[in-house]
Structure 1
C-alpha cells in the first residue's frame, strides 16, 4: 500500500509520528505527491509543528502520501499510487490527507499530521475509521506548510483514540491545555441531508450518549459549502497554478486547477459575504449549545473504481467544508454500521474552544461505552 513516500528517523524515543508531505521537514523536499514538484528543493528548516514535535521528544518516522497537491477528496493518486484503506479494503482512503489517515488505520504511527482545507483531515479519518481533528483556524502554526497563504487550511492530527488525539494537540500547539471532561453538555443536532443509514448511526450514538440534545438548522449552510469551494479554488490556483506550465500535473488535478483559475473577484467577494453570514449563524448557535453535531460524510466511502472523477465526487465534503469557511474547530469520531462500513460523527465547537470540544467528545464516548 502506497502510504510512505519518504522514510525518516528524526527525534527521540517518544511517540511515533508521520506527517503529510505538504509539511516541511528540514533536509527533505516537500512534493505534495505531485510529479510537478519532483525537483523541489530541500527544505531549509522544519515547519513549526515538526519543530514542536521534535522538541517534545517525538520520533518522526516518515512523510506520507496525499491526493496530488492536496486538491482532491478521494486520495486517488496516479503518480505516487493510492494509499490502501487498511480497515475497509477496496474503499477510497479519502483525501487529501489519505496517507496520514491510512497510516493510523494500519498502525504505522501513534498519531499523524495532515492538513484540512475543505475536509481533508475529517474525510480521510472518516473513510479509514479513525479520529481526525481540524483545530480552530489559526490556532496551530502553519509556518512551513504548503500552501503558505490560505484563509481556510489547518494542520490537524489523526489518531486511533481520542486521548492520543488530545496528546497530539499538546505537542503541536504549545497553548493547548486539555480541559476537564464535563459531567453534562448541550448538543445542537444540525439538520442536514445524508443517507438514512448514516443518519441512523449518528442518531443512535447521540441518543446513547445521554447528553442534552436540541435541534439546529442553518439558513446559510448550503451557501457556505458553495462559497468554500470558491475560496479554495482561488487560493489553490494562486498557490499552484504556475505548476500547470510544467506539464506534469496529473490530468484530473490539471483540469480542476485550470477551472479554478477562472474564479472571478466578484465570486470571491460574494463568498466572503457568505463567510460572514454563516460564521455569525454558527457563533450564535454555539451560545446555546456546547457543541454542534452532524454526520461527517453524507454517505459511505465510495469504492475506488467508482471515484475516478474528482470533480464529480466533491459532494462527499458537503457536511465538512462549511466549517473551514467559518473557521470553527471540528472533530470526526469513528462509528461502525450494520453495513460494516465507516460512519463519522462530526462535532463542532466554538472558535478557540478546541479543548472544550475534545472534552465534550470524551464525555460523549464515555457515556456511550459505559
Structure 2
C-alpha cells in the first residue's frame, strides 16, 4: 500500500491547492513508471478532504474514505501523485480563475488566464511540474484550458471512465479526463485508463463550417491544416452540423446551459441551502440562474438535446471524425472585462456543447497562432472512439511537425 509522504513539488504558479500538497508514490514498475501526475481537487484521495475549489466545501466535508478508481489505477500503473490541483469553484467555470484561491499562471501565455475549470491541472502540466494531470470536463473544462495552455487534453466519452469518488457538477454531462504536455505521455495514460475496446476504424473527416465560424479567424489556418492533413488519408468534406439556420449552435448552447444548470442545482441544492457557501460573483451568478430554471424549461432543453444527438450521429456515424476549434478564442487577458469574458464563454460553449450534449469524445491538439499564442484544434469522434482519436491526433500532430500541408 502507498502512503503519503510530504515532499511537494515546487509551485510558483499557483497550480496546487494548499491542502493538497502531498505525494503518493506509485508502484515500483508499470507502464507509467517514472511519470508524475496531479489530480484536480474534485478527485477523492483517502484520508484527504476534497476541496472542489471552495473553502466552504472544504470546511463542510470530511476526509475521503476511498480513493478515486482512476487515481488508484494510475498509482498501480507506476505513476506518482504529486498533489491536488486547483479547480474553478465546483468546476462551474471555463475561465480559469478562483475568487478564493487566485488564478494559476498560464505558463504558455503569461498575462492570460489558463482556462478552467481544470485550471491547476493545465497550468501544472504546461509548467512541467508534472507529466500529466487528471481533470474533468462538463462543458469544456479540459478542452478549453488545453487550448489556452498549449497542451494535450481529452474529453472522454460520457460514462466511459468512472466518476466514482469525484465531486460532481452535472452528472449527465460530467466526464473524467486528463491533460499532458507530451503526446507520448498523453497516449500512455490512455492505454492505462481507457478500455481497449475504445477504438474505431475512422475513415471519414468532416469540417463543420458552423462550428468553425464561432471561433476567431486566427483559428482558421490551424483548423484547415489539421483537416488537410487528415484528407491525405481519409475521405473529407465540408458540412454544417445543423440545417436549422445560422443560429442553430446558439440554440444548442442554450439547451446545454439550461439542462446542465438545472441538474447542477438539483445536485447541490441541499448543500447550498444548508451551508450558504460564499462564491465569487461570476459563479454565484450562475447558481442564481440555475436556481430559477423550472422543470418545463429543463424538459424542453432535454428534448432539444435528443434532436442534437440524432443530427450529430447522422453526420458522424461510426466512422467519421470532425475537426473543430477547441475554444472560440486565445486565452483572454487577466484583466479582460467581465462582459468580454461572458461573450467568449458564450461563443466557446457553442462549440464545446456539441460533445457535451452528445456525450462524445474530443481530443484537443496543441498548436499555435502565427504570433505564438497557444490554440487547440480538436478531433470530435463517435462515442467509444477515444483511443482511436488519441492515436489519430498524435499522427496528425507528427505530420504537421514534419511540415505536412499548411
Q: TM-score range by the shorter chain?
A: over 0.9
Q: Quote the residue 2:16 is aligned against.
A: 4
**Against the structure 1 CA distance between its residues 83 and 150, is the aligned structure 2 distance closer, same or farther, given a 3 Å change threshold?**
same
Deviations 1:346-370 (A, max 9, x none): 1111111212222222332232233
Gaps of 5+ in 2: 1-12, 243-247
Q: Quote the residue 2:39 is aligned against.
A: 19
**What's the CA shift for 1:307?**
5.2
Match of 1:226 among 254, 257, 265: 254
**What's the CA shift for 1:185?**
4.1
Match of 2:128 among 92, 98, 107: 107
**What's the CA shift for 1:50?**
1.2
Q: Distance in 2 between matches of 1:351 and 1:206?
A: 20
1:314 corresponds to 2:326? no
**Against the structure 1 CA distance between its residues 178 and 239, is the aligned structure 2 distance closer, same or farther, given a 3 Å change threshold?**
closer
Match of 2:272 among 243, 254, 259: 243
Match of 1:358 among 373, 376, 390: 390
Q: Distance in 2 between matches of 1:47 and 1:274?
A: 33
Match of 2:101 among 62, 65, 80: 80
**What's the CA shift for 1:308?**
4.2
Q: Identify the range of structure 1 (338-347 vs 103-112) with the bigger mean alpha-carbon deviation.
A: 338-347
**Against the structure 1 CA distance between its residues 149 and 178, is the aligned structure 2 distance closer, same or farther, given a 3 Å change threshold?**
closer
Q: Distance in 2 between matches of 1:142 and 1:228?
A: 20
TM-score (norm: length of structure 2):
0.85
Deviations 1:217-242 (A, max 9, x none): 12254332211111221122223333
CA contact (8 A) 1:330 1:347 kept: yes
Aligned pairs for 1:1-370 within 5 A? 1-5=13-17, 6-12=20-26, 14=33, 15-39=35-59, 40-147=61-168, 150-173=171-194, 175-176=195-196, 185-191=203-209, 192=211, 193=213, 194-209=215-230, 210-212=232-234, 213-219=236-242, 220-241=248-269, 242-243=271-272, 245-287=275-317, 289-306=319-336, 308=338, 311-315=342-346, 316-370=348-402
CA contact (8 A) 1:116 1:155 kept: yes
CA contact (8 A) 1:221 1:278 kept: no
CA contact (8 A) 1:307 1:313 kept: no
Q: Report the number of matched residues.
A: 367
SS at match of 1:324: helix
Q: Distance in 1 between matches of 2:105 and 2:197?
A: 34
Deviations 1:27-81 (A, max 9, x none): 1111111022131210001011112112222211100001111001111112011
Q: Distance in 2 between matches of 1:178 and 1:267?
A: 35
**Against the structure 1 CA distance between its residues 55 and 216, is the aligned structure 2 distance closer, same or farther, given a 3 Å change threshold?**
same
SS at match of 1:233: helix
**Against the structure 1 CA distance between its residues 299 and 251, is the aligned structure 2 distance closer, same or farther, given a 3 Å change threshold?**
closer
**What's the CA shift for 1:112?**
0.5
**What's the CA shift for 1:187?**
1.0
- Give the superposed CA RMSD: 2.1
**Against the structure 1 CA distance between its residues 149 and 317, is the aligned structure 2 distance closer, same or farther, given a 3 Å change threshold?**
closer
Q: Distance in 1 between matches of 2:277 and 2:81?
A: 33
SS at match of 2:171: coil
**What's the CA shift for 1:207?**
2.2
Q: Distance in 2 between matches of 1:237 and 1:128?
A: 30
TM-score (norm: length of structure 1):
0.93
**What's the CA shift for 1:317?**
2.8
**What's the CA shift for 1:298?**
1.7
**What's the CA shift for 1:149?**
6.2
SS at match of 1:86: coil
Q: Distance in 2 between matches of 1:208 and 1:102?
A: 29
CA contact (8 A) 1:211 1:364 kept: no
**Against the structure 1 CA distance between its residues 160 and 185, is the aligned structure 2 distance closer, same or farther, given a 3 Å change threshold?**
farther
